Chains A and B, each alone.
Chain A
Amino acid sequence: MKSVEAAAGYLLIAPFMLMFAVFKLYPMLYGIAVGFWDRNSEMKLLDTTFVGLSNYITVLKSASFWEAFAHSIVFSVIYIVFLMVFGFLAAVLLNRKFWGRTAVRTCFYIPYVTNMIAVGIVFKYLLNPVRGPVNAIFRLFGASGPGWLSSPVMALPTAAVIAGWAALAFHIITCLAALQDIPADMYEVADIEGAGFWQKLRYIVLPYLTPTLFMLLTITLINSFRNYTAIAGLTGGGPGTSSKVVSVLIYDDAFNFLAFSRASAEGVIFTIFIIIVNRLFTKARSIWESRN
């Protein structure tokens, strides 16, 4: 009886596992192999000459990789901080009762279902340093306004914030669901004690939401590296290389310079980095949780 159940078990997961193995897992492993080959010019597209670690070493020694690496970190940090802070605050505000709350929530969610290519077109218009409406506001106050997406200093942070704006709904919805679970009498007690808004936030809401916020942080950390579309739609990696993150570097090296093996090695190295960061974060989280 047991073996019949097991057989059915394997049989039912087989289609999913097969598709996964062929179209998801194999390419991941294939990438490691490509990194060991010499496909670094148009002539060698199908070459399988084993060149050892040379691609990996070239990548680790190249300044452009570390520059892109640093840009990816900056993007991720800004993206994560923006989402964690404003997602939480927006949820707290949207949890209060007011006229038209459902409609207002919908407005907050809509950016989430759109894409950065379509939205990027509008943001490039809005943030046009000379003719755009955002800098027109700056001029009202006699200031000239920053170059936003066309300034080497501002392009990366601006792109990260816009990407954060688009992803906000996930954080709001998740926090709102957690806020529903706070027992109403906690607030009543706080009201009787005469606690203000900030005190309630600090002593009731934050402790209750800590597990949720940790979970969100884990997800956001991973998502922050899925940044190709945002950068492609907003800056294209520019001006110059000032917002060129690792994903854009990989694309460029592979499809503009045809250095497929080097680009593969970049992908593998960055994936290892992401996995290490995740492990460290999970570790830190479990230490923090065991202390509290």
Chain B
Amino acid sequence: MGIKKLKRKDIVFTAVMWLLALMMLYPFIMMVAISFRPSGQAYQPLFSSGIIHTLRSYKQVLSHPNFFDWYRNTVVTVVVTIFIRLVITILAAYSFSRLKFKGKGLILAFLVATMMVPGETTMVPRYLYFKQIGILNTLWSIVLPEASEVFYLILLIEFFSSIPGDFTEAATIDGAGHLIILFRIFIPLSGPAIATTVLFSFINIWNNYLDPYLFINNIETQLITPALQFFQEQGGANMPVQMAGSALALIPVIVLFVFTQKYFVQGVASSGIKG
């Protein structure tokens, strides 16, 4: 009797959790469902009869003269930013975690303090300054400022600090230079931390809205997330076209996330360790 009662409770709990999961995904389910409808049926209930399914909206989105520009720009920005970010951040993280030099603590404390300043409050000086140095309307206006993110520096410092000292001591006795130690020992051991950095960077840059919206004004240089506004303007109230555009903008990040969730969870959990 007791066991049976417990089991029923478990079944109810499981059902409730699945229901909650469905509620979390409800907006995405609707996004996909509406994107396959003709615009006249956009507001009919999810399971109503007589719904026609069509690829018209996707055809319209994909045939936008700049759609592939936006996609290519986004991919290029993501790849180039991640590359520069990795190189400069790994070098700095190695130095901060392994080498002794004057002012190290102070520099780090200062860098961490700047994380408090949201990009929202500095959008005007950034715009004016980037205009002055001539990087507005180019992908550099996204790439260069994104390269040095303190968050990833801290993430890698934490990871590098956890690598046992004996490894490096042995190498130092051999007379290996810092770059050799870094490439032969630290980078091969840091797979998970680097994977986390790449994954987080990919998601954040892909979803970045404010910066490209501010700094890029010509339609063919725009990135995919801010470019979604063009479907709102062009399509007017054409809901399915907007939904199709949104779905195509979200698919790469969602797919990437589902397959690399482990690193994502690790990254969040480890970024939370210090506090």
- Chain B residues near A100 (CB-CB < 8 A): 14, 17-18
A13-B250 contact in complex given A131-B43, A225-B118, A233-B209, C-beta closer than 8 Å: no
Which parts of B75-100 form the interface with A (CB within 8 Å)? Answer: 84, 87-89, 91-92, 94-96, 99-100
Report the number of A-B residue pairs with Cβ-Cβ less than 8 Å. Answer: 273
**Residues in chain B near residue A247, CB distance under 8 A:** 118, 120-121, 123
| Structural contact, B144 and A23, CB atoms closer than 8 A | yes
Given A6-B102, A27-B129, A104-B21, also A109-B122 (CB < 8 A):
no
Q: B117 contacts A93, CB within 8 Å?
A: no
**B13 within 8 A of partner (CB):** yes
Q: How large is the interface on A (under 10, 10 to 19, 20 to 34, 35 or more residues)?
A: 35 or more
Q: Which of B50-58, B64-72, B190-198, B221-229 contacts A (4 or more CB under 8 A)?
A: B221-229
A99 to B159, CA, bound (A): 34
B31 at the interface (CB under 8 A from A): yes
Complex CA–CA separation, A36 to B63 (angstroms): 48
CB of A275 within 8 Å of the partner chain? yes
How far is A104 from B147 in the complex, measured between Cα atoms in Å? 34
A34 with B125: CB separation less than 8 A: yes
- Tell me if A79 counts as interface (CB < 8 A to partner B): no
Q: Is the interface of B mostly helix, strand, loop or mixed?
A: helix
Chain B residues with CB under 8 A of A103 = 21
Q: How far is the CA of A270 from the CA of B245 in the complex (A)?
A: 35
Give the contact-size bracket for chain B.
Answer: 35 or more
Segment touching B, from A58-66, A146-154, A167-175: A167-175
Q: Does B148 contact A (CB under 8 A)?
A: yes
Q: Which residues, 95 to 114 on A, are CB-close (under 8 Å) to B?
A: 96, 98-101, 103-104, 106-111, 113-114
A206 contacts chain B at the CB level, 8 A cutoff: no
A50 at interface by CB-CB < 8 Å: no
Taking CB atoms, residues of chain A closer than 8 Å to B249 are 115, 117-118
B240-275 with Cβ < 8 A to chain A: 242-243, 245-247, 249-250, 253-254, 256-258, 261, 264-265, 268-269, 272, 274-275
A158 to chain B, nearest CB (A): 13
Residue of B nearest to A225 (CB): B118
Which residue of B45, B89, B128, B226 contacts A34 across the interface (Cβ within 8 Å)?
Answer: B128
Residues of B within 8 Å of A136, CB to CB, are 45
- With beta carbons under 8 angstroms apart, the residue of B91, B99, B124, B153 that contacts A254 is B124
B contact residues vs A (CB 8 Å cutoff): 10, 13-14, 17-18, 20-22, 24-28, 30-31, 34, 42-43, 45-46, 84, 87-89, 91-92, 94-96, 99-102, 104, 107, 111, 114-129, 144-145, 147-148, 150, 153, 178, 203, 206-207, 209-210, 213-214, 225-226, 228-229, 232, 239, 242-243, 245-247, 249-250, 253-254, 256-258, 261, 264-265, 268-269, 272, 274-275
Q: Besides A122-B31, A225-B121, 5 other CB < 8 A contacts? A: A13-B91, A27-B126, A104-B21, A109-B257, A133-B30
